[in-house]
Amino acid sequence: MQKRKINKFLTKRNAEQGSVGGAFVVALGALGLVGFYLSNTVTNTQSQIKAARGRTFQEAAVNGGISNFAVFKSLMTPMLTDTGPATAREPFLYAADYFAQNWSLNQNTVHFNTTDLAVPGVGQTISLKSARSPLITLEGAAAIFRGDNHQTNSDNPSNFTHSTVKIVKANISPTSPFYRESVVISASDTVQVVENGQTLTKQTTPIFAEIHLPAPRPSDVKLYAVKIGDEANPIDLMKSGLGTASAPLAAGTYKFQLATAGVALNGVIEINGVPLPLGVVGDHKFNNIMAPLGIIGETQPIRLGNIATTTISTTSSAAGTTLGQTVTRAADGCGFDVNDNQSVTYGGASGASSSITTVDSGANQVKISAWVNRVDMTNTMDEYPIDLIVYASDGSNSVAGTSTVQNTAPLTVAPMCADKCNNISETMVRSNLPSDHQAYYAWMDDTLTNPDPTYNDVLASEATANKQQQLNQPGFNLKGRICLSRDAMAKKIFDTFGLPPSKAEKQRTDEYYAMLPDGKNWYQEVAEPLERYVYYAQPTCERTGIGARGSKCGCFAADTRIQMANGELKPASEIRQGDLVWNPKSHKSQAVKEVIAGPEKIPMIEVKTASRSLTITNGHPFLTKKGLIQAKTLRMGDILIDGSEETVVTSVTPVSHYNGEQEPEVWNFVLEGSDDADDHYVNANGVMTGDLFLQRELAQEAE
């Protein structure tokens, strides 16, 4: 239907005499050139030239503008290359940093022989080779914008001139915050027209156009298995034929690497259904179409295949006791507990002994999927499908060892991630013995300067033994090891007293143990609640923060919908460290640095606007016309700053739970970023609000 209209218009145009410039404008509209527009060309031009020559210059300006815009569109659109693979399509011009707010362009000189089509100038200007104004035709412009033809198809030098084009703005897609779906450009030209035998020259008024661009796509995706100790020989799992049931990998410890090329948002390796995000926008090098193949991220080492055997002698009070791992919610605060998941059955009559041989092993097979996310929120599974089972063979090494188990105490047998949390025992942390106390504070001092975050982690065996409530939240039914970390405690002590913990306790004892109104001393009330859980989840043994141990935990109701970077709305209870969320204040994605959760004893608050509702804790931060304030100080009629908009609060209502009713579980997280408040906002149930970093800042100001 549209094609018939165009053909009809072309026929009419060829049969009539009239304004060529006007015909181009009408034709471009008829062609549906996705957002193409001309702004105020006629009015601006008419005010600058004599009325007698107005139509001639006006038509020349529009004609030259269309030529420039058509050429620019052509050079930014993927086309067959001169020297690349036969089917390769790449643009001649590309953004040096696709994710930058202000674009500058580079020439694609790798796969194109010509270099004079467009020459990047100072700032965001480009010297563009374009058709001389009398040569542009309606059919030619239409062909370029349809993608049927490219400016490079004509190489007669006399047909072209050079014009200056400037990138005014790169526009973000409303459906993806990373996709620059169009650019606004301006073009001005020196036009020459012959009238009554006289050649007239004039600089035209700038003409603006919005040029829509396709989303760039990664040009390659690969998955490698790298054996620890043999890093120089990575195995391409999609091409080598290794890692299959018929050709399994040799038993050992491996890390998996995801590689890509071109423009990529981030990557994901999913192991046995557990996704591991890789690469954060701004922190990787895949920001232009010419970015070479490289690693966007890798997993932690994973043990595959049977590596060794261990013999355990046990003494048990009951036959048939089976020990296994469970993942449980911490009953006394935030966080989760992970008990080792290797099951061992031991038994006999009371006091009887038995000998059991267990295998210190990794999995003999592991299911792996991997993909790279594109800027338009699609992924590469349609073009580079990576979804496979990696097989590993049995090893031949044998290591014998013994241990004794009394009664039904938990038995740990060579669990995966067993090398984590071993720097200091929890018994020493909780001990009142002077020698243990001294050793503990020496360790606390070291946490301030040790660059390895795992040094701060303590195996929380005693704590996990007391956890009974089974965790049913998605994403936490994982194998691994839970630890306690006191790095935040040590930093808080140093920031408060200006001394490392050991000296602060001795030299500032009165303040360190000063009693507070709630019956606790400063150390118990301020420092100790900053102890937090971290866990190492099998099979990657990736270190993840899962919350403070104290009761001052979170501030979102568990079902609050948080906007992710890809536009998805995810419950707060499902947000995990490393997830990318959308920041409506800075208009960019940011990774989650820390997640906390726990019961909320104080009544929560429901904040409503005309169309939205959000249930949060008293201290939750909101940006208002009055500044950044806590939820408990919000009043009806207050104006919330919501990104670039303003929203009026219609009600603020306490939400109580009844006697005997379980306290609601609340969640919160800290975003990666600077100390700038703008780096710490999220979209929760459609309302812009602060993260835990801002909540803590507000709480300190209120003290």
Would you call 601 helix, strand, or coil by DSSP? Answer: coil
The domain in which residue 156 lies consists of 2-212
Residue 33, in any domain of the structure:
yes
State how far the Cα of 512 lies from the Cα of 522, in Å rounded to an integer: 6
- Token pair, residue 134, equals 């009398």
User: pLDDT tens digits for 54-84?
Assistant: 455 555 555 566 677 777 888 888 888 777 6
Q: Which amino acid is at 257?
A: Q
Query: Would 632 be classed as within a structural domain?
Result: yes
Tens digit of pLDDT for each residue in 447-476? 888 877 777 777 655 444 333 232 333 333
| Region 597-604 average pLDDT | 64
For the chain, percent of residues with pLDDT exceeding 90: 8
> How far is CA 597 from its chain centroid?
21
pLDDT in tens, 286-339: 999 999 999 998 887 787 775 444 443 444 334 333 333 333 333 333 233 333
CB atoms within 10 A of CB 401: 13
pLDDT tens per residue across span 2-45: 333 333 333 333 333 333 333 333 333 333 333 333 333 444 44
151 domain residue, yes or no? yes
643 versus 520: the higher-pLDDT residue is 520
Question: How far, in Å, CA of 260 to CA of 379, rounded?
Answer: 12
Q: 334 to each of 166, 456, 597, 598, 655, how far by Cα in Å?
A: 54, 19, 5, 4, 21
Closest CA to 475 of 331, 615, 600, 592: 592
Tell me the three state secondary structure of residue 362.
Answer: coil
Question: What is the average pLDDT value for the chain, to the nearest integer?
Answer: 69
Q: Which of 212, 233, 252 lies at the terminal end of a domain, its last residue?
A: 212
Out of 167, 182, 212, a domain closes at 212
Q: Where are the alpha helices (DSSP H) in 288-377?
A: none
Partners of 169 in beta bridges: 184
Name the phi and psi angles at 99, rounded to 5: -90, 0
pLDDT at 274 over 50: yes
Q: Say how many domains are in the chain.
A: 2
260, containing H or E segment? strand 252-261
Establish if 431 belongs to a structural domain: no
Distances (CA, A) of 671 to 388, 579, 584, 680: 33, 10, 13, 6
Instruction: Tell me whether residue 668 is in a domain.
Output: yes
The band of 384, judged by pLDDT with boundaries at 50, 70 and 90, is very high
CA distance 234 to 228: 10
What's the chain's Rg over C-alpha atoms? 33
Report the DSSP beta bridge partners of residue 234. Answer: none
The more confident residue out of 116 and 307 is 116
pLDDT single digits (tens) 543-553: 766 555 444 44
CB 406 within 8 A of CB 315: yes
20 token code pair? 């060529």
pLDDT tens-digit series, residues 422-450: 666 666 666 667 777 777 888 888 888 88
Strand order through the sheet with 621-624: 627-630, 621-624, 639-642, 645-648
Cα 249 to its chain centre, rounded Å, is 32
pLDDT at 59: 57
State CA 159 to chain mean position distance. 48
Q: What is the CATH number of the domain that holds 651?
A: 2.170.16.10
| Lowest-confidence region among 159-168, 576-585, 624-633 | 159-168
Measured CA to CA, the distance from residue 372 to residue 264 in angstroms comes to: 7
Show contacts of 37-41: CB within 8 Å, 24+ apart: 37/208, 37/209, 37/210, 38/62, 38/65, 38/207, 38/208, 38/209, 39/207, 39/208, 40/205, 41/65, 41/205, 41/207
- Any domain includes 664: yes
Predicted TM-score (pTM) of the model is 0.54
pLDDT digits (tens, 9 = 90+) for 205-223: 677 888 888 899 999 999 9
The answer to whether the CB of 654 falls within 8 A of the CB of 608 is: no
Taking the C-alpha atoms of residue 61 and residue 186, their distance in angstroms, rounded to an integer, is: 12
CA distance 166 to 187: 7
**Are 458 and 421 a contacting pair, CB within 8 Å?**
yes
Report DSSP state, residue 567: S
Q: Are 131 and 67 in contact (CB under 8 A)?
A: yes
Spatial CA neighbour of 689 closest among 554, 495, 496: 554
Which of 194, 212, 230 is at the close of a domain? 212
Report whether the peptide linkage leading into residue 453 is cis, meaning its omega lies within 30 degrees of zero. Answer: no
User: Is 285 within a domain?
Assistant: no
Q: Is residue 307 part of a domain?
A: no
Specify whether the CB–CB gap between 549 and 532 falls below 8 A. Answer: yes
- DSSP alpha helix (H) spans, 361-513: 426-430, 434-447, 461-465, 487-497, 501-507, 509-512
Lowest mean pLDDT among 452-466, 605-619, 660-674, 689-703: 452-466
Is the pLDDT at 272 greater than 50? The verdict is yes
What's the confidence (pLDDT) of residue 92? Answer: 85
Inter-helix orientation angle 138-146/20-31, to 10°? 20
Residue 535 has pLDDT above 90, yes or no: no
Which residue in this structure is represented by tokens 């603020």?
Answer: 652
